[in-house]
């Protein structure tokens, strides 16, 4: 086949590709560093002729005009699997709404919910066999490419060629556009003292030879830096991060003892700096698999000694974890937190860790609370919770009663809040009081 001729046949301009969209249609797009920046930026220029187009995105990386400008109301509506900073800001405009989801089912549930007219993704330029790589994200992209009526891929030479389940053939794509935008970067931040203390407690819980998942946020990235004394660690994660590259380059990560995909780092998407994107490029040690595979708890649980490390905003004394809202103000999303927390507990020798600072806002607010704030969304229910870590220590909650959980969590709360927590727990009757023999229980 003459792949160059096929490529030329499918190539159209970005405005022409957006011009294919019709009022009332549904459209999903690839996420994070694989976001189709050219197509999404162009969308607002077509508002005049488009009404009621629903877009499905996950953690949009840029403040696109189509959902952040009030005059776009009625033209576009964003259904969002995971909020970032722009979404939080524009939530009040009424043009964005969160889709509750567990990441490994995001694509499957979208297909279940109804038809998908258009998918916009990104890919590397094709090789001489007409094969492209879907590059930095396979979370739901492949599933939605298969489900959509029309598929448009934005070809970007800056995208790394990643290996695993990432190949896509020119014949599977309806249209191609070209754009060479630099990839979005998430800078690495030096860990604060509190994060290092949390990292050190977690390092004590990780055996040599364990397989790790590290979640999104400042704390999981800081934890990687507490693991330089470990040996033969493996990676089975949702998100590849810069910290994992550092651990690989230091010889700490080699996947030697992994029981699933031995010797490979496995994940569904990469978000970090250019160092990470260079690392995953054409790297046979890095295996991209679909989110429905990496994050399926029963797949993740096939790794022995699987440890998941995620972070949260609030934990109540029952062990209910809220990682996605501050009270009723939606903040981010469940992502793969519950998937991976469960997967780690299915794993023989595994452990699900939730790590968080004991206080926020300069010590004014305790993150360990008697009750979640009204309206808070539960990310990990109390029946799934395993281990919670703060800078004051480790609370092992799995299989333990509420009385013991309460005590364990109060012991890792900030000392300034411990007596308040005890009083509140008693007021709420969460912990049974000691019954005096002979007391009247009527
Ligand atoms: N009450 C009030 N405000 C709180 C709070 C609380 N209990 N906890 C945190 N905050 C504030 C912080 O002070 C901070 O505000 P600031 O930006 O004004 O300083 C803000 O909320 C963000 O907190 P921070 O701890 O810095 O967030 P983060 O960027 O490290 O992300 C999560 C933490 C929990 C939001 C993030 O990890 C997440 O969304 N997790 C769910 C998904 C997930 O874990 N997926 C895993 C697979 S990748």
- DSSP labels, 327-361: TTEE-S--TTHHHHHHHHHHSTT-EEEEE--SEET
The mean per-residue pLDDT over the stretch 95-111 comes to: 97
**Residue 323 DSSP symbol:** -
Residue 357 CA: nearest ligand 1 atom is: 25
Cα radius of gyration rounded to whole Å, the chain: 23
Q: Is the pLDDT of residue 18 over 70?
A: yes
Spatial distance between the Cα atoms of 189 and 262, rounded to a whole number of angstroms: 30
Ligand 1, atom 23, lies closest to the CA of 313
- 71 given a catalytic annotation: no
Residue 366 CA: nearest ligand 1 atom is: 7
Q: Is the pLDDT of residue 233 over 70?
A: yes
Ligand 1 centre distance from Cα of residue 299 (Å): 28
What are the two backbone dihedrals, phi and then psi, of residue 214, each rounded to the nearest 5 degrees?
-120, 130
- Let me know: does 430 contact 370? Beta carbons within 8 Å: yes
Please name which of 65, 41, 66 lies closest in space to residue 54, comparing C-alpha atoms.
66
Q: What is the pLDDT of residues 302-339, one digit of tens each?
A: 999 999 999 999 999 999 999 999 999 999 999 999 99
What are the two backbone dihedrals, phi and then psi, of residue 132, each rounded to the nearest 5 degrees?
-120, 165
Ligand 1, atom 8, lies closest to the CA of 313
**Percent helix / strand / coil, the chain, rounded to 5:** 35, 20, 45
Spatial distance between the Cα atoms of 140 and 76, rounded to a whole number of angstroms: 22
Ligand 1, atom 40, lies closest to the CA of 323
Q: How confident is the model at residue 401 (pLDDT cuts 50, 70, 90)?
A: very high
Q: Is the pLDDT of residue 439 over 70?
A: no
What percent of the chain lies above the pLDDT cut of 90? 93
Within 8 A by CB and 6+ apart from 193, the residues are none
Please name which of 100, 65, 21, 113 lies closest in space to residue 335, comparing C-alpha atoms.
100
Ligand 1 centre distance from Cα of residue 354 (Å): 12
Q: What is the pLDDT of residues 194-203, one digit of tens each?
A: 999 999 999 9
Q: Tell me what pLDDT residue 434 has.
A: 56
Average model confidence (pLDDT) for the chain? 96
Q: Tell me what pLDDT residue 222 has.
A: 84
Q: What is the pLDDT of residues 255-278, one digit of tens each?
A: 999 999 999 999 999 999 999 999
Q: Is the pLDDT of residue 66 over 80?
A: yes
Residue 310 CA: nearest ligand 1 atom is: 44
Ligand 1, atom 6, lies closest to the CA of 313
CA-to-CA separations, 236 to 181, 228, 259, 271, in angstroms, rounded: 29, 18, 11, 15
Q: What is the pLDDT of residues 110-146, one digit of tens each?
A: 999 988 999 999 999 999 999 999 999 999 999 999 9
Q: How confident is the model at residue 206 (pLDDT cuts 50, 70, 90)?
A: very high
CA-to-CA separations, 160 to 54, 220, 280, in angstroms, rounded: 29, 24, 7
Residue 336 CA: nearest ligand 1 atom is: 47
Q: Which residues line ligand 1 (CB under 6 A)?
A: 215-219, 238-239, 310-314, 323-324, 326, 331-333, 335-337, 340, 360-361, 365, 367
Catalytic pick from 42, 238, 287, 377?
238
Please name which of 15, 79, 17, 24 lies closest in space to residue 45, comparing C-alpha atoms.
15
Q: How confident is the model at residue 435 (pLDDT cuts 50, 70, 90)?
A: low
Q: Tell me what pLDDT residue 10 has.
A: 98
CA atoms within 13 A on the CB side of 332: 17
Paired tokens of 109: 């549930």
Ligand 1 centre distance from Cα of residue 162 (Å): 30
């Amino acid at each position: 086949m003459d792949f160059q001729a096929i490529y030329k046949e499918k190539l159209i301009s970005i405005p022409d590709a957006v011009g294919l969209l019709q009022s009332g249609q549904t459209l999903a797009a690839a996420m994070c560093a694989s976001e189709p920046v050219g197509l999404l930026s162009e969308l607002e220029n077509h508002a005049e002729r488009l009404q009621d187009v629903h877009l499905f995105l996950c953690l949009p990386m840029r403040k696109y005009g189509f959902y952040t400008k009030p005059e776009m109301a009625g033209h576009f509506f964003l259904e969002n699997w995971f909020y970032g900073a722009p979404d939080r800001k524009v939530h009040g405009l009424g043009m964005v709404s969160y889709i509750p989801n567990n990441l490994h089912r995001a694509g499957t549930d979208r297909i279940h919910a109804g038809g998908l007219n258009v998918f916009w993704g990104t890919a590397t330029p094709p090789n001489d066999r007409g094969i492209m790589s879907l590059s930095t994200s396979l979370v739901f992209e492949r599933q939605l490419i298969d489900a959509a009526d029309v598929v448009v891929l934005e070809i970007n030479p800056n995208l790394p060629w990643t290996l695993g389940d990432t190949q896509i053939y020119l014949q599977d794509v309806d249209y191609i556009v070209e754009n060479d935008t630099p990839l979005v970067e998430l800078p690495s931040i030096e860990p604060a003292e509190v994060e290092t203390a949390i990292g050190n407690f977690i390092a004590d819980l990780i055996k040599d030879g364990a397989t790790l998942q590290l979640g999104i946020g400042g704390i999981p990235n800081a934890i990687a830096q507490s693991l330089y004394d470990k040996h033969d660690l493996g990676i089975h994660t949702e998100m590849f991060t810069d910290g994992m590259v550092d651990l690989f380059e230091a010889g700490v990560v080699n996947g030697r003892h992994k029981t699933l995909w031995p010797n490979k780092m496995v994940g569904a998407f990469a978000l970090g700096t250019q160092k990470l994107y260079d690392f995953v490029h054409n790297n046979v040690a890095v295996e991209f698999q679909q989110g429905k595979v990496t994050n399926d708890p029963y797949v993740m649980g096939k790794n022995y000694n699987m440890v998941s490390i995620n972070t949260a905003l609030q934990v109540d004394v029952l062990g209910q974890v809220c990682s996605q809202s501050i009270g009723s103000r939606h903040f981010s999303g469940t992502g793969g937190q519950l998937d991976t927390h469960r997967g780690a507990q299915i794993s023989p020798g595994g452990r699900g860790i939730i790590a968080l600072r004991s206080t926020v806002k300069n010590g004014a607010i305790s993150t360990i609370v008697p009750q979640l704030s009204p309206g808070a969304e539960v990310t990990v229910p109390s029946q799934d919770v395993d281990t919670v870590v703060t800078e004051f220590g480790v609370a092992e909650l799995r299989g333990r009663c509420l009385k013991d959980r309460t005590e364990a969590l109060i012991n890792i709360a900030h000392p300034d809040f411990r007596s308040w927590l005890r009083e509140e727990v008693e007021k709420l009757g969460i912990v049974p009081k000691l019954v005096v023999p002979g007391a009247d229980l009527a």
